[in-house]
Structure 1
Amino acid sequence: MSDIERLLELLSNAHGISGREGSVQDLIRQEIAPYVDEIRIDNLGNLVATRKGERPSVMIAAHVDEIGLMTKYVDEKGFLRFVTIGGWFDQTLLNQRVIVHADSGPVYGVIGSKPPHVMKDDDKKKPVEIKDMFVDAGCADEEEAKALGIKAGTPITIDRALAKLAGDRVTGKALDNRAGVVMMIEALKRTRSKSTIYAVGTVQEEVGLKGARTSAFDLRPDVALATDVTIPGDHPGIEKKDSALEMGKGPVITIADASGRGIITTEKVVSWLAETAGEFEIPVQMDVSGGGTTDATAIQLTREGIHTGVISVATRYIHSPVEVLSIKDVDACAELIARALETAPRYFKTEE
C-alpha cells in the first residue's frame, strides 16, 4: 500500500461532520507534524500548520469536514429524528447504516424504511423525504437513548470504509474532501519551496465556507490554493455538457465555478498553475462549471482580496457514501501543488 493510499484510508474512514471535526484534526496533526514548524487550532477549529520561510506566503486550504447528520430529538420509542448537515440527495440516505457518536461512544444504527411487502402502490411511487426518515439505534425507548448519551446535537455519520476497486481506483465516504487533505500533506512532504507555507485544515466548508473565511483573514497570505474534489462527466447519467472532466486524466485547475457566483480565477493565477504543470509535464484539465464552489471563493474575497486558485481531483458520486477516485490523480495533484509552491515567487513578487 502506498503512503497516499494509507493516508486516504485513514482519513476517509475517520468521522467528523461540519462543526465536529476534532477527531479528524487530531489525525491530521499527527501526519503533518514532521513537515512543519508549528501547529495550532484556532478559535473556529481550523488546524493551522506553519512552515516558516520567505515571502510570498502561500496558504493551502483543505476542508476536513464531511456531510452528515445531527440528532434533532429522540422520540418516546427511542427512534432518532435528525437534520442534515451539508448537501444530501434524500434517497442516498435511505437504508444506510450509520454511526451515532454518543457521549458513551459510537453506537451503530440504521436509517430504516417500510418493507416493500406492506407498501401501497402510491408508496412505491413516492420518494421518502428526509423529514420523514429516522435512525433506529436499537434503543427500546427515549430513556435508553439518554442513558447512552444520545441527545439533541449528537452527530451521526455514515458507516462506510474505504475499499479498493479495479486498477488504481478506490471508493469510500468523505473523499470530499479528505482527498484534498491528503494532497496537502503529500505536497508538503515533496516540496522544496522556500516560501512560508500555511497548511490549513479548514472546518465547516460544507455549510458555508466558514473556516476558510476566518483563517484567511487571520493569516493574510500573499497567495492561496484550495484543494478539493470536483465532478467528472464520465459515467452513465451525466454527460460531457454537464462536465467535460474525466477521472484518471490528471489534476483539475478551476477557471470558474458556480457560473461565476463562486470563484472566477484571475488570469495570473491560472497562468501560474497551468505553466507550472507544463514545465513539470503534469497533464491537467481545466474546469468551468455551473454549480458548486470551494473554500477558494471565501479566501479570494478576504480583506482586500487574495490571489487564489483551486486544484481538484475528479471524483465520481460526490456527496454520497460511495465516492470514487483515482489514486494516480491524487498523486498528480500533490505533485502539482508541490511544484506550484516552488514557482510561486516568480508570479507573486512581494516587497519584504
Structure 2
Amino acid sequence: MRPIESLQTLERMCHISALSGHEEDMITFMKGEMARYLPECRVDRLGNVIGCKPGADPEGPRVMLFAHADELGFMVRKIEPDGFIRITRVGGIPEKSLPAQRLILRGSRGDVWGVIGPKSHHLTPAEEKFKVVEIKDLFVDVGAHSKAEAEAMGLFPGTPVTYHGFFREMPGGQVAGKALDNRVGCFVLLQVLRLLAEKEIPATVYYVATVQEEFNIRGAQTAAFAINPDLAIGIDGAVSCDTPDLKPESDIHFGGGPVIGHYTFHGRGTLNGLIPNPKLRQYITDVAARLTMPVQHSVFLGGLVDTSYVAVVREGIPSVDMAFPMRYSHSPIEVASLPDIEQLIVLLATAVEGIAAGLDLSRG
C-alpha cells in the first residue's frame, strides 16, 4: 500500500475550523475517519478522539500514537459600538503577520467572514510603517455597522475565530495550507492507521486525536491517563530552518526525512519540554536505519508539544516526539514537504508494527 493514496483528506482538514476548546468539527471528522478502520472509537469528556486496535498478543505493550486536532487562533473579546470586533489570541499567534488576514468567526448563527483591518497605507505615518501593531490595537471588519448588527450575526465575546481555510499543492512536492500544525500530524496518524488496520501486530495501539494542545496542552494528559500506555509517540511539526532567515538556527530542512526529537524546552511562561526515553528514541532510529531512511535530529528551544506532558502522566510514560519539517510555523499559511511526510508515515507504521513485549524501555 502506498503511504499516501490521496491528499483529499488533508485538504478537507485544512478547511475545517477547530480552535482550541472548540474542536467539534475536527472531532467529528477524526472520529468518522477512524471508525472506517477500528472496531472501537470514542470521544472522551474533554473531546479527545480515541480509537483502539487490539493487538494479537494479549501480553503485548499498549502504544499511544497521537496528534493534536486543534489549531491556534483568536477569540472575540469585545464588540465596538460601530460593529468592529476586537479579538485576543488563543495560542502563539505571530502578531506581525495579522493585518489584512482573512478570518472565520464561528458565530452562533453560522460562520461569519471577516478581515483584520490594516490602517490605510496612504495615511500611515512614516514612523508607523515598520512597526508591528499589537493585537489589542487591531480590529476585525465583518461588515456590521453597529454592535446590534454584529450581535445579530451571532457574534459575542467568546466567539471562536480562526484563520480562513486554505490548501494548495506546490511545485517541488510541497503543500501549503492553513493549520498544517497539526492537520498534517492528524493526516499522518490516519495514514498509519490505514496501513496497519488489516495487519495482525503484537501491540495494542491507541490512535488519539487530542484537543487543546495550543491552549496549554490539556487533552493529551487526560487521554494518556485513561489509556495508561506502555509508551507514547507524538506527531507534530518541527521548524524547518532551510529558509534564508533561519539557516543559522539548525540543520532541519525539507527533503531530509522525518524528525526525531532529542530535546524541547519552552523556556518562557510554561517551563516544560521533553527529553525522550533514550531507548525508545534509539529504537525508532534503528528502524529508520533498517529502512535506509534518512532522519533528522532536533534540539529545539522555544516550544513544546503534547508529548512533554504525556511523559509525566501517572508513574511516567516512555515517550518520543516525531515530526515533519514545516516552514512558517503558526502563520496563516504553513508549508510542508510531501516526501518527508510520506517517509514519516512509513517510519511510524514500521516502528509500531515491530513493537512487541520484548522491547526494553527501562532506565538504569
Q: Quick check: TM above 0.5?
A: yes
Residue aligning to 1:216: 224
Deviation at 1:305, TM superposition (A): 0.4
Deviation at 1:259, TM superposition (A): 7.5
Deviates more, 1:332-341 or 1:47-56: 47-56
**What amino acid maps onto 2:287 in structure 1?**
T
CA shift in 2, pair 1:52/1:280, >3 Å: same
Residue aligning to 2:88: 83
Aligned-partner SS, 1:3: coil
Residue aligning to 2:17: 15
Residue aligning to 1:226: 234
What is the rounded CA distance, in whole Å, between the counterparts of 2:237 and 2:361 in structure 1? 29
Residue aligning to 2:291: 280
**What amino acid maps onto 1:250 in structure 2?**
G
**What amino acid maps onto 2:218 in structure 1?**
K
Q: Does 1:335 align with 2:336?
A: no
2:186 and 2:209 in contact (8 A); partners too: yes
Residue aligning to 1:196: 204
What is the rounded CA distance, in whole Å, between the counterparts of 1:31 and 1:172 in structure 2? 20
1:160 and 1:321 in contact (8 A); partners too: no
What is the rounded CA distance, in whole Å, between the counterparts of 1:69 and 1:349 in structure 2? 40
What is the rounded CA distance, in whole Å, between the counterparts of 1:3 and 1:136 in structure 2? 40
What is the rounded CA distance, in whole Å, between the counterparts of 2:129 and 2:120 in structure 1? 10
Residue aligning to 1:347: 359
Residue aligning to 2:176: 171
**What amino acid maps onto 1:115 in structure 2?**
S
Deviation at 1:126, TM superposition (A): 2.9
2:71 and 2:214 in contact (8 A); partners too: yes
Structure 1 residues 34-86: Cα deviation after superposition (integer angstroms, max 9, x where no partner): 22111111111111111122420100110011111111121111111111110
Structure 1 residues 213-265: Cα deviation after superposition (integer angstroms, max 9, x where no partner): 1110111001110000001110111124x121111211101111127941101
What is the rounded CA distance, in whole Å, between the counterparts of 1:29 and 1:259 in structure 2? 31
**What is the correspondence of 1:25-104 to structure 2 with a 5 Å cutoff?**
25-53=27-55, 54=58, 55-104=60-109
**What amino acid maps onto 2:44 in structure 1?**
D
Structure 1 segments of 4 or more deviating over 3 A? none
Deviation at 1:266, TM superposition (A): 2.0
Deviation at 1:125, TM superposition (A): 3.7
TM-score, normalised via structure 1 length: 0.95
What is the rounded CA distance, in whole Å, between the counterparts of 1:329 and 1:239 in structure 2? 19
Aligned-partner SS, 2:293: coil
What is the rounded CA distance, in whole Å, between the counterparts of 1:296 and 1:286 in structure 2? 16
Structure 1 residues 118-152: Cα deviation after superposition (integer angstroms, max 9, x where no partner): 11222224321111001100011111111111011
What is the rounded CA distance, in whole Å, between the counterparts of 1:175 and 1:296 in structure 2? 18
**What is the correspondence of 1:127-138 to structure 2 with a 5 Å cutoff?**
127-138=132-143
**What amino acid maps onto 1:127 in structure 2?**
V
**What amino acid maps onto 1:114 in structure 2?**
K
Q: Does 1:309 align with 2:311?
A: no
Match of 1:145 among 150, 163, 166: 150
CA shift in 2, pair 1:259/1:40, >3 Å: closer
Aligned-residue identity in percent: 36
Aligned-partner SS, 1:18: coil
What is the rounded CA distance, in whole Å, between the counterparts of 2:361 and 2:257 in structure 1? 28
**Number of residues paired by the alignment?**
348
Structure 1 residues 81-131: Cα deviation after superposition (integer angstroms, max 9, x where no partner): 111110011111111011111111111110002111111222224321111
Structure 1's unaligned 5+ residue stretches are: none
What is the rounded CA distance, in whole Å, between the counterparts of 1:291 and 1:326 in structure 2? 23
2:166 and 2:333 in contact (8 A); partners too: no
1:222 and 1:306 in contact (8 A); partners too: yes
Deviation at 1:281, TM superposition (A): 2.4
What is the rounded CA distance, in whole Å, between the counterparts of 2:78 and 2:124 in structure 1? 27
**What amino acid maps onto 2:265 in structure 1?**
A
Aligned-partner SS, 1:44: coil
Deviation at 1:13, TM superposition (A): 1.6
Structure 2's unaligned 5+ residue stretches are: none
Which structure's residues are more often helix, by fraction? 1
What is the rounded CA distance, in whole Å, between the counterparts of 1:274 and 1:349 in structure 2? 14
Structure 1 residues 254-295: Cα deviation after superposition (integer angstroms, max 9, x where no partner): 111127941101211111110111122222111112221111
Deviation at 1:3, TM superposition (A): 3.1
Deviation at 1:308, TM superposition (A): 0.6
Deviation at 1:319, TM superposition (A): 0.2
Match of 2:26 among 17, 24, 27: 24
Match of 1:182 among 163, 177, 187: 187
TM-score, normalised via structure 2 length: 0.92
Aligned-partner SS, 1:25: helix
Residue aligning to 1:250: 257
Structure 1 residues 306-341: Cα deviation after superposition (integer angstroms, max 9, x where no partner): 011111000000101121111121111111111111
Q: Does 1:326 align with 2:337?
A: yes
Q: CA RMSD in A?
A: 1.6
**What amino acid maps onto 1:232 in structure 2?**
S
What is the rounded CA distance, in whole Å, between the counterparts of 1:11 and 1:348 in structure 2? 37
